[in-house]
Amino acid sequence: MVCFCTFCTNDTISSDTLSIEIKEEVVVSAFSNMQISGLRTGKIVLNPEALSCLPSIQGTTDLLKLLELTPSVQNPGDASSNLYVRGGDIGQNLLLYAGAPLYTSGHLFGFFPMFNAEHTASLEMTVSDIHARYGGRLSSAIEMRTKTYIPEKTSIRGNIGLLASQATLAVPLGKNFGLYLSGRQTYINLIVQPLITKIINKGETDKMNAPDYYFGDANLTLTGNLSENDRITFDAFLSNDYLNMVDESLLLDGTLKWKNALFSALWNHRQGDNTLIQQIYTSHYRNDLDTRQTEMQMLLESGICDYGYKNRVFFNIGDILLETGLQYAFHSVQPHNWTISNAGYIYNQNPLSKQTAHDAAAYVSASLNLLPQLDASSGVRYSIFYNNTLFADIEPRVALSYHVSENSMLTASYCRQNQYLNLLSPTSIGLPLDFWVSASTEMPPQSGNNFSVTYYKSMFNNNLELSSSLFFRTMNNLNEYVQTITTGEIQTFSGELYVGRGKAYGLEIMLKKNTGKFTGWLSYALGRSERQFPQINEGRIFPARFDRRHNLSVVASYTKNEKWSFSAVFAYSTGNAYTLPSSWYFIGNMPVKEYAAYNGARMPAYNRMDISANYSFNRDNGLSFSIYNVFAINNPVYIFMNVEHKKETGQLFIKTRHKQLSTITPSLSWRFKF
């Protein structure tokens, strides 16, 4: 049987109005093939198995990338795995793996998925009506849940592709315990990178060199029933990435390494109608950069380490469903430390000592029926953060759902959140160089207020679903890190860090077809994300870096028969905002820039179409052929100005150049199960 992973959690099955405990594997046939669910209350729930037919550059489902095809997530473009949700920044998303936080959202350039889909039960993103159990981020809560049911027999399933391969082993350990072990490895540096360099990019100076890159990761889940009322689950996630960066046109050579390690232990205890869940975890993230350009060399290192505990209690008082919880995390944060050597001289930043912080919260939430057609959920979270300075705040949450008819519902919600860990971004081109810094008197905690109204309607016996949302959010104490690392301009990290505010608002529409041979969805978002900092742009409002005015996605799947299925994805979005030099002048043959309005220029509009064909030998074995960017659209990763010399006249002049990561990319993979 297949677990009903659309609503499966590590401890509960939840719908819009119901929450019950998992005791064993569950199948709900009416929804087992739904690709996306949860639209009623501002959630997106992805089913990995139902989405496996969609095109993928590496031949396996990338759940986080698929979130970009929903209206709440702005498309970041090629060469990025970052998520920008409802006008927020990348560090404002709470990313949880088996209930424990992760501090990076993907592997290199967005090519490879962060999570192994074969090891995943479901992935849920909440952008409005955010439960009080989630805190510490302003934009969204994204939770990846591992498989926790006990397998009936030993099996191995996986995927072998041109760029990477993966396998998942499922083993029953008696009647009461089960083990899942997964692993992935890429070999792009051994096979694909030399081919791209010699064939596709030959003579193309405006394309980025194919990356000399590899990664490997592993997942482990051990789950078991100690008794009829007690279940334990152990999870582990390990990943290691290595990148060699070379750009001969800019005399750039360097290496970048980053790694994750996460361990979690969860105990679920049921006593009558009450449920107690306790969890301990640790999560580590680190990155190291070593770059060389002509006579300059720069070394950077940063990281963050967490040790945490969570407690959740479910109980009823009459018809009111209540949940209370306590949370604690000890953070050890290492901001960027750098060393620069240039022409024989060595410069060391004053070493930034590790920042330690205590992060605690208590919350309570309630769900009840006020009237026959009116449901309410509310909660309050009290958060405390101590890092030589004490910060504390109350975070209320409330949502009302009015059932207009049997098939339609109107939901209004408000949520206040605080963020005590800030992510600083010295680059926007998809390299994981971002680093975390804890709140302090110089960098006060971020805070936000989120308002949302959603109308949901199902039509034609649930064959079609329509969801439309209006949202408005304010954000205070945002950070803008004005120093950047861009190819050709390696700078130190002694630049200024500015504190300001922002707001975002927009309209989101999603139409989804659930049944029949032809399924899929259409999503569109019209939005604006703005920032205001006293020291930037003369204090005037300017667009955020990933302010995308229009975002359109179309996803279509067609099942011809038991053997053949086809799918296509189309994505379009307004270009990113960036700051363009307005003029150049030379002092002693050295170019000096003068900049126009901050983020006042736009990249070209982004558009891409992917297609795939899937052939099944049987239910669990088959071939998948995909073409990424089938029309070979050159979507720039970034734009920069280059000073060029005309030998004939001795004249120096400025030329605008675009860098693309790739154009058309085919992929062939074999999925199997034994």
Residue 42 counted as domain residue: yes
- 469 or 659: which carries more pLDDT confidence? 469
Q: In the predicted model, what is the mean pLDDT of residues 313-342?
A: 90
pLDDT of residue 17: 32
Position 381 pLDDT exceeds 90? yes
CA angle 594, 596, 599 (to 5 degrees): 125
Position 30 pLDDT exceeds 50? no
CB count, 10 Å around CB of 555?
25
Position 250 pLDDT exceeds 80? no
- 469 or 49: which carries more pLDDT confidence? 469
What digits encode the pLDDT tens for the residues 619-658? 888 898 888 888 888 887 766 666 666 667 666 666 666 6
Position 541 pLDDT exceeds 80? yes
Position 325 pLDDT exceeds 80? yes
For residue 304 the two structure tokens come to 């963050």
pLDDT of residue 205: 46
Residue 242 counted as domain residue: yes
pLDDT of residue 16: 36
Q: In the predicted model, what is the mean pLDDT of residues 440-445?
A: 88
Residue 4 counted as domain residue: no
pLDDT of residue 206: 52
How many domains, the chain? 1
pLDDT of residue 335: 85
Task: Quote the mean pLDDT of the chain.
Answer: 82
For the chain, the first-to-last Cα distance in angstroms comes to 15
Q: Residue 400 in contact with residue 350, Cβ under 8 Å?
A: no
Position 479 pLDDT exceeds 90? no
Q: Residue 115 in contact with residue 145, Cβ under 8 Å?
A: no
193 vs 143, 189, 207, CA distance in Å? 33, 5, 13
Name 379's Cβ contacts closer than 8 Å, sequence gap at least 6: 131, 132, 363, 364, 365, 366, 396, 397, 398
pLDDT of residue 45: 86
CATH of the domain at 519: 2.40.170.20
CA–CA distance, 379 with 388 (Å, rounded to integer): 29
What digits encode the pLDDT tens for the residues 145-171? 999 889 999 999 988 887 788 899 999
Position 87 pLDDT exceeds 60? yes
Q: In the predicted model, what is the mean pLDDT of residues 368-382?
A: 94
Residue 585 counted as domain residue: yes
- 17 or 280: which carries more pLDDT confidence? 280
Residue 7 counted as domain residue: no
CA–CA distance, 101 with 107 (Å, rounded to integer): 16
pLDDT of residue 8: 37
Position 417 pLDDT exceeds 50? yes
Residue 1 counted as domain residue: no
- 367 or 297: which carries more pLDDT confidence? 367
Residue 5 counted as domain residue: no
Position 489 pLDDT exceeds 50? no
- 369 or 52: which carries more pLDDT confidence? 369
Closest CA to 377 of 14, 9, 617, 17: 17
**pLDDT interval class at 340 (50, 70, 90):** confident
Position 351 pLDDT exceeds 60? no
CA angle 127, 131, 136 (to 5 degrees): 75
pLDDT of residue 215: 84
**pLDDT interval class at 5 (50, 70, 90):** very low
pLDDT of residue 14: 38
- 168 or 1: which carries more pLDDT confidence? 168
Position 31 pLDDT exceeds 60? no
Domain of 580 in residue numbering reads as 12-673
Residue 474 counted as domain residue: yes
**pLDDT interval class at 577 (50, 70, 90):** confident
Q: What percent of the chain has pLDDT over 70?
A: 78
**pLDDT interval class at 109 (50, 70, 90):** low
Task: Note the Cα 607 to chain centre separation in Å.
Answer: 20
For the whole model, what pTM was predicted?
0.86
pLDDT of residue 457: 93
pLDDT of residue 269: 96
Q: If you average pLDDT over each of 258-267, 537-546, 597-606, which comes out highest?
A: 258-267
pLDDT of residue 620: 81
**pLDDT interval class at 350 (50, 70, 90):** low
